[in-house]
A = this chain, B = another copy of it.
Amino acid sequence: MSKKIFTVGQLADRTGIKPVTIRYYEKIGILPAASRSESGYRLYSVEDHSKLLFIRRSRALGFSLGDIRELLSLADSQQESCAGVDAKVEQQLEQVRSRLKDLRAMEQELKRLSACCEGGMIMDCRIIETLSCKT
């Protein structure tokens, strides 16, 4: 095992992930339990640093922590086929596209609503009317 050189705060600075979040990741087991200094401080190595960056990048792609747990485990089994990884990416892509579809529909409808406001009283408000009355 390699040298433990970062405190949780230093690791946080280097990864952009807050100390509380790092501890949380440890608690739910997606980061291994950190080794400790004599006084009980967590100490991290460059490997921990890499793993945390992996997590951050995966989160940025919208993967859930559950998915990331699996990805990390896949990443460790060097000899296995990467089909599982590819499948996860594919699945995530579909989910993102589905969210995109929903959000685009929301955008259209909100634009429509926004355009129909004429600045009167609530009793004449087309927005409220639309929200209230359309099927």
Interface string of A112-135 (1 = CB under 8 A from B): 011001011111110110111010
With a cutoff of 8 Å between Cβ atoms, the chain B residues found around residue A119 in the complex are 81-83, 86
Q: Smallest CB-CB separation from A124: which chain B residue?
A: B82
Q: Smallest CB-CB separation from A126: which chain B residue?
A: B82
Q: Smallest CB-CB separation from A81: which chain B residue?
A: B121
A75 contacts B by Cβ under 8 Å: yes
- B131 pairs with A86, CB closer than 8 A: no
Size category of the binding interface on chain A? 35 or more
A107 contacts B by Cβ under 8 Å: yes
A36 contacts B by Cβ under 8 Å: no
Cα–Cα, bound, A117→B110 (Å): 38
Interface centre among A79, A111, A125 (most CB of B within 10 A): A125
Q: Which of A1-9, A27-35, A88-96 contacts B (4 or more CB under 8 A)?
A: A88-96
With a cutoff of 8 Å between Cβ atoms, the chain B residues found around residue A111 in the complex are 93
The 7 closest A-B pairs by CB, nearest first: A82-B125, A78-B123, A93-B110, A86-B117, A75-B128, A89-B114, A62-B106
Q: List 28 A-B contacts (CB under 8 A).
A: A50-B132, A53-B132, A57-B131, A60-B106, A61-B106, A62-B103, A62-B106, A71-B128, A71-B131, A77-B122, A78-B123, A79-B122, A80-B122, A81-B119, A82-B120, A82-B121, A82-B124, A82-B128, A85-B122, A86-B114, A86-B117, A89-B113, A89-B127, A92-B110, A93-B107, A93-B111, A100-B104, A100-B107
